[in-house]
Chain A
Amino acid sequence: MQINLLVRYLEAGKYEDAEESYDLHSCIECGLCSYVCVSKIPILQYIMLAKHELVRMRSMETVND
């Protein structure tokens, strides 16, 4: 997966684009990206937040249906 592009989408809050085009769900949350990040971006936290938000959005949609 292309983590440098993924994190741009996550920073902008575009979780659905990240899921469709940048393989958000391929992440197994090992944390290596945050370990080596020169700029110390909390990448793993962004990813976990994105997954959480997507689940929350989906469950809200089913409730509203």
Chain B
Amino acid sequence: MTDRTKLAVSFAPFWHNGSRVTDRSRQIILAALPAALFGVYRFGFSALGVLALAVSSAVLWELAFTRVAKRPVSVGDGTAAVIGLLFGMMLPASLPWWAVITGTFLAIVVARQIYGGIGANPFNPAAVAIAILMLAWKQRMDFDTALVNSVFDFPAFFPLAAVKAFGTEAIRDVALIDLFLGRQTGGIGTICNAALLAGGIYLVLRRVIRWEIPVSFLAGVALTAAAFHVVDPLRYASPAFHLLTGFTFFGAFFLATEDASSPVNFIPMLIYGAVAGAIAVFIRNIGVFAEGLVFAVLVGNLIQPLLDKIRPQALGKVG
């Protein structure tokens, strides 16, 4: 007698390569942690409180919403924790607790779950939440006002706001190496560009994010800033300054590369990154906000469905 089950053949993928969403979330958190820890070192325990509250409230909002909506509980895949961490890293360390919880509600429920949860969000959830908070509580999200009571061993003004108000004269004494190593004010996890660069390169090497988006994003920022700088060097800062201040590195490696809201093909990725980077500098130089990079990322997310139409044709297809 032959065993019938031995002869049963299933369909093609007989095995899975084992990649999981949880692994990707873990890699992103690992890559973001050095910059976040530097922020805690720089801003003290209030920064740790903001980060912890952001992560935990994001996870709890996700849990609550999946319960209420009777969806499968998706907290375990870690994407809510990633969003909470990235959101918290962009906040000033002195943000009160209610604003943090409101922000994670906006990120998890409004920007993600009502569109269908993981993989279905049209915009980067963390960027949406930061954008709404910047419009709603302008004073609390302003880095100069928020950090006015902190004491630092370096000039404690938000560099981009200083340039916007007083021109490049205000930042003449700011050394680029200081900006790179995080001797500047800003969001908790966005000040240490060295750590962000290391984390971003790690993510690229682990194939969690594609190199095209950060590279074209940074190129878009640099080229646009260079054009402004050539036209009026007294009003507009140099490209290196724009690269090393505000959310630039954070946006390039962690915001613009979000899975669901970024394109997947080579040319669309280049266009997406360059457009978002260019708009970021436009907002900084001639827009209302000193740091409007999250809005630039949102505009990039907005054109992503159009960019996805640029794709290779199937071989031999007629018509």
State the A residues within 8 Å of B (CB): 1-2, 4-5, 23, 26, 29-32, 34-40, 44-45, 48
Q: Which of B263-319 contact A (CB under 8 A)?
A: 264-265, 308, 311, 314-315, 317
- Determine whether B76 belongs to the interface, using a CB cutoff of 8 Å to chain A: no
* A30 and B12 contact, CB distance less than 8 A: yes
Please, how many angstroms separate the alpha-carbon atoms of A48 and B14 in the complex?
16
In addition to A29-B11, A39-B119, 7 A-B residue pairs with Cβ atoms within 8 Å of each other are A23-B314, A29-B12, A34-B16, A36-B19, A37-B16, A37-B19, A48-B11
Interface centre among A35, A36, A37 (most CB of B within 10 A): A35
* B11 and A1 contact, CB distance less than 8 A: no
- Smallest CB-CB separation from A2: which chain B residue? B311
- Smallest CB-CB separation from A27: which chain B residue? B314
Please, how many angstroms separate the alpha-carbon atoms of A58 and B229 in the complex?
63
* A4 and B264 contact, CB distance less than 8 A: yes
- Smallest CB-CB separation from A26: which chain B residue? B314
Q: How far is the CB of A65 from chain B (nearest CB, A)?
A: 24
* B12 and A39 contact, CB distance less than 8 A: no
Count contacts on B: residues with CB < 8 A to the other chain. Answer: 20
Q: Is the interface of B mostly helix, strand, loop or mixed?
A: loop
Please, how many angstroms separate the alpha-carbon atoms of A40 and B119 in the complex?
12
- Determine whether B13 belongs to the interface, using a CB cutoff of 8 Å to chain A: yes
* B311 and A35 contact, CB distance less than 8 A: no
- Determine whether B164 belongs to the interface, using a CB cutoff of 8 Å to chain A: no
- Across the A-B interface, the 3 shortest Cβ-Cβ residue pairs: A31-B12, A31-B13, A23-B314
Please, how many angstroms separate the alpha-carbon atoms of A45 and B13 in the complex?
10
- Determine whether B70 belongs to the interface, using a CB cutoff of 8 Å to chain A: no
Residues of B close to A45: CB separation below 8 A: 11
CB-defined interface of B10-25 with A at 8 Å, one 1/0 digit per residue?
0111111101110010
Residues of A close to B119: CB separation below 8 A: 39
Q: How far is the CB of B271 from chain A (nearest CB, A)?
A: 16
B17 in complex: contacting residue of A2, A5, A35, A48, CB < 8 Å: A35
A44 in complex: contacting residue of B11, B315, B317, CB < 8 Å: B11
* A34 and B12 contact, CB distance less than 8 A: yes
Residues of B close to A48: CB separation below 8 A: 11
Interface centre among B12, B21, B308 (most CB of A within 10 A): B12
Q: How far is the CB of A10 from chain B (nearest CB, A)?
A: 15
Given known pairs A2-B308, A36-B17, the reply for A44 and B12 (CB within 8 Å) is: yes
Residues of B close to A38: CB separation below 8 A: 19-21, 24
Please, how many angstroms separate the alpha-carbon atoms of A65 and B317 in the complex?
29
